A and B are shown apart, each in its own frame.
Chain A
């Protein structure tokens, strides 16, 4: 077993365990930290799989952006209400049935999957070239989408609506 393989397994186990821990933790802050662990181990898996660019983007965007955003969200909402955040669960049976049935379905589907050990590493120049050639339109669209959504998020969060009186 190579180091790469061992790393893959290690990060898979870490990611799985931390993702599962999100489900069971009672602390929402700790849940977000678990999410961060999962995202980072996923990034490591990307790198180990040869997709360094994706992995680094993952680290930058998720670990650096989304998780920070979430933490800010937690802090803001808990500050606003002055009460502990409700992280209790409901629909437990439904959730378990749904997710486990999907898991079973996927595992059933993976049984007869012919897999080849992956080969080749995607280099940055190739990515850059393909981004500006084959994927130029999606790239621009995603840029516009990102712009619009960020601006929209800012507007939505900032505009001072009056509370609705029922």
Chain B
């Protein structure tokens, strides 16, 4: 097989993730998109690490997963908080800092 297929796969996943972050109006789906992007990065890390005997890439992937978990936990907490606060989960309507028109 051409190993590049995995790179294409990761690129695809990343693009889907970025697309989700930009396009979806729901905060939850934006979080999902973030997770997808991190996963795509992880796929790349693991794929490139598989060419060497050293576990550095895998280690990096593990730390990325940890950070992703942290991010998901804090993100969800913030999302819940914001939801309580603004009664919405739409990021468009959370525009406190914006100039009022």
A and B touch in the complex (CB under 8 A): yes
Could you tell me which A residues sit within 8 Å of B by CB distance?
A: 1, 5, 8-9, 12, 15-16, 19-20, 22-23, 28, 31-32, 35, 38-39, 42, 45-46, 49-51, 53-54, 57-58, 61-62, 65-66, 69-70, 72-74, 76-77, 80-81, 85-92, 94-96, 98-100, 102-103, 106-107, 110, 113, 115-120, 122, 126-127, 130-131, 134-135, 138-139, 142, 145-146, 148-150, 152-154, 156-157, 159, 161, 163-164
Q: Please determine whether A87 and B25 come into contact, CB atoms closer than 8 angstroms.
A: yes
Q: Please determine whether B58 and A28 come into contact, CB atoms closer than 8 angstroms.
A: no
Q: Please determine whether B15 and A152 come into contact, CB atoms closer than 8 angstroms.
A: no
B101 beta carbon closer than 8 Å to chain A: no
Known pairs A28-B29, A73-B76, A87-B26; A157 contacts B14 (CB<8 A):
no
Q: Please determine whether A31 and B65 come into contact, CB atoms closer than 8 angstroms.
A: no
Q: Please determine whether A153 and B73 come into contact, CB atoms closer than 8 angstroms.
A: yes
26 residue pairs A–B, Cβ–Cβ below 8 Å:
A19-B13, A23-B23, A32-B32, A42-B42, A49-B47, A51-B57, A54-B42, A54-B46, A57-B62, A70-B32, A70-B76, A85-B89, A87-B29, A110-B11, A115-B3, A120-B50, A122-B53, A127-B58, A135-B63, A149-B71, A152-B74, A153-B77, A159-B81, A163-B84, A163-B87, A164-B86
Q: Please determine whether A161 and B81 come into contact, CB atoms closer than 8 angstroms.
A: yes
Within 8 Å CB of B20, what residues of A?
Answer: 22-23
Within 8 Å CB of B88, what residues of A?
Answer: 81
A111 — nearest CB in chain B belongs to which residue? B4
Within 8 Å CB of B51, what residues of A?
Answer: 116, 118-119
Within 8 Å CB of B11, what residues of A?
Answer: 102-103, 106-107, 110
Could you tell me which B residues sit within 8 Å of A by CB distance?
A: 1-9, 11-20, 22-26, 28-29, 31-32, 35-36, 39, 42-43, 46-47, 49-59, 61-63, 65-74, 76-81, 83-90, 92, 96
Known pairs A39-B39, A66-B68, A161-B84; A102 contacts B14 (CB<8 A):
yes
Q: Is the interface of A mostly helix, strand, loop or mixed?
A: helix
Q: Is the interface of B mostly helix, strand, loop or mixed?
A: helix
Within 8 Å CB of B62, what residues of A?
Answer: 53-54, 57
Shortest beta-carbon distance from B53 to chain A in Å = 5
